[in-house]
Each structure stands twice: as C-alpha cells, then as structure tokens.
Structure 1
Amino acid sequence: MIDLGGGILLRPLEPGDAAALAEAFARNRAHLAPWDPERTEDFFTSAEQARLIELLLAERDAGRSAPFVLARPEDGAVVGRANLSNIVRGAFHSADLGYWIDASLAGRGLMTRAVTEMRRHAARELKLHRLQASTLLHNHASQRVLAANGFERIGMAPKYLHIAGEWQDHYLFQRILSD
C-alpha cells in the first residue's frame, strides 16, 4: 500500500473489492462515459465486478497484468483504478498503462502520483523496460498526467479504440523505464 496523500491509498486489487468497485463505477458513470467503452447495466453490479476481478487476478497470477485500486482506508471506498495490462516479456518487456479517478478527486494531483507509483512498480518489481499508454485526442487531463511522468507522445493511432460507442483516434505515449 502506498499513501498518495489526501487520505487515498494505492493498493493491489483484491477479491473483496467488487461491491466498492461497482459503487465507484456507478457513482462515476457520467464522468467516465466519454473515456470508456459503452457499458451494459450488468457492468455496474457487484456480481459482474466480482467476475471481472476474478479474471483480472488470474491475469495477474499469470504475470500478464498488475491491477490496483485507489481507495480510502477509513471506509474502503474505491475512488479510482490503475492497471498495467498486456504485460509482454521476451524482447519487448512492456505493458499498457490505464487509469481513472473519481470525479470528486480529479485535478488534485492524485492520479499523477498514482501513475508515478505504477511506473516505479513496473520498473522495480516487474522489471519492465517500457510502458505505453493512449489517450483520446481531447483528453488533456490524462495527457498532463503522462507528461508529468516523463511519457513522450510517439504518434497518433486512427480509430484505435471503440470508446463511447465509436472508433476513436488516440495519441500514443511511451516511457522507457530502463534509462
């Protein structure tokens, strides 16, 4: 567990986080909608979050992901996620970085600190060489988080991800960790 300040901890995702995660997604539904794939109603239930957590933890155990939550320790509320996914070894030693934060906490520097810790985890614990991330072209807040963590923009991918119901262009970023 890492204290990010402001009463928020960054900690590994746990099997018991389903209800708190479902509540966080429901609370932030409108906030996340422009940046996320379209979600079914089931997505916002504890049962579906428990199923997804089980899959994420299996991916973690297989060495293919590192899922974390941002949480308030006093009440257990989940207020964000940070995830390393698609971990590839071999000649690549790379992963994708994804993250989001509760609307009530946006703009306070918490996600910048969380990404710093995810970057450190990727370098020190996972021994990765590189992290990559993508943002919608107009997601300036996320681009500032990446820039503050030394990510460089390496290109633009047309129609890269199906977000908010349509294929959307994304900027691609990377951070070399071994420098």
Structure 2
Amino acid sequence: MTGNSIALTGTARVRVLHRSDAGPLAEAYLRNREHLAPWEPLRSEDFFTAEAQAASIESKLGLFIAGSDVPWVLVDGSRIIGVLNLSGIVRGPFLSAHLGYWVDKDMTGRGIGSAALEFAVDAARSELGLHRLQAATLPHNAASQRILKRAGFEEIGLAAQYLRIAGSWQDHILFQRILC
C-alpha cells in the first residue's frame, strides 16, 4: 500500500492518496458535483477547493499512519477519476473495516468500480489481515449494489436513518464480505 500505482482496468490505476492530490481531487469533486450529490453529504462551496482538499488529505493521511483508514485514489494518467477507501479499521477480534468508493461520471460502466472493489478486498485480506468488509448503499443506488454483489458482497440488512445524505437522514442497505 505504498505510493506505487497498481493497474485496475484499461488505463485506470489505483494508488494511495498523496498530499499533491489536493488540486486534482478538488477538480474531480467539482467535475462530479452533480453526479455525487444524491449519494453524499451536503457539501459547502469550500469543499470543492484545493485548500479544503489539502486539509482533508492531511486528516486522511493521519488516519492512514494511525492504521485506521486507507485512502486510495483512482487515476487515469494524472487525472483523478474516483476514490476508494477503507475506514474505521478495527483490529482485535473484529478485524473489520468500512468500504467506500465512487467513480467519475465519465468513467462509469467500464468495470473500474468492480476492479477497484476487488483490489480493496485483496488488500484488506492479504495486506491488512482483515476478516470482514462492510459497505452501505442507499436503497435506490442499484448500480452500487450490482458492483458490490459482483465483488462477492452479500446483503445483510437495512439500517434505518443510517447516514445524513443529500441533506436528510436516509436508510441504507448494508452489505458485507467475509474475507477468510
């Protein structure tokens, strides 16, 4: 999980987030603002700036160093085309983490999301020694549910008012994948 990039599919690659990604990440979020709005928390105007992304990256890298998160970016050349992360990593008898991801609106339907999830599953199992990954989707996010199911995740339930998304507390379907 070093800074080296790993091929996913076509020209898409995955690598750990870098401090130098602030500008390209802000551009990716701005380019995908409408595409992501139904699936993410409300974002302030400041969120879409390189300065805000630099602060966010510092926080994420601190959690990475602490061993509780792994922040990756999906790239095509120098352009960020998505995000992939493991968060809330718990050790001890649980050995679990939450999985989150998104793919650029112009890159959907190319297998990038599926390849990214397979990469995350492999890294969680082989590099982090995790037993389980969990992911959550809004009930109407059929595309994300298909990707999770293709990656071997199984639906395990419904969490009422699970996350505040697009300005309101929304139910989420929970998925898990047992890794070993």
Q: Give RMSD over aligned pairs.
A: 0.6
Structure 2 residues not aligned, in runs of 5+: none
Instruction: Letter of the 2:22 partner, please give it.
Output: A
Percent sequence identity over aligned pairs: 54
Which whole-Å CA distance do the structure 2 matches of 1:151 and 1:6 have between them? 24
Structure 1 residue runs without a partner (length 5+)? none
Post-superposition offset of 1:69: 0.3
Alpha-carbon distance in 2 for matches of 1:72, 1:20: 11
SS of equivalent to 1:82: strand
| Matched letter for residue 146 of structure 2 | R
2: distance between equivalents of 1:34 and 1:51? Answer: 24
1:61 aligns with 2:57: no
- After superposition, give the CA deviation of every residue in 1:55-98 in whole Å (9 maximum; x if it has no partner): 0000000000010000112xx11000000000000110000000
Corresponding residue of 2:153: 151
Which of 9, 19, 22 pairs up with 1:18? 22
Partner of 1:78: 80
Alignment pair present for 1:132 and 2:119: no
Q: In the alignment, residue 68 of structure 1 is paired with which amino acid?
A: W
Spell out structure 1 runs of 4+ moving beyond 3 A.
none
Q: SS of the residue aligned with 1:30?
A: helix
TM-score normalised to the size of structure 2? 0.97
Partners of 2:98 and 2:20 lie apart in 1 by 25
SS at match of 1:33: helix
1:1-50 deviation per Cα after TM superposition (whole angstroms, max 9, x unaligned):
21112211111111100000000000000000000000000100000000
Matched length? 176
Deviates more, 1:2-11 or 1:80-89: 2-11
Q: Which residue of 2 aligns with 1:92?
A: 94
Partner Cα distance (2:129, 2:118) in 1: 15
Which residue is 1:52 aligned to?
56
* Distance in 2 (alpha carbons) for counterparts of 1:28 and 1:6: 21
Name the counterpart of 1:5. Answer: 9
Letter in 2 for 1:19: G
2:11–2:76 contact (8 Å) kept in structure 1: yes
Q: TM-score, normalised by structure 1?
A: 0.97
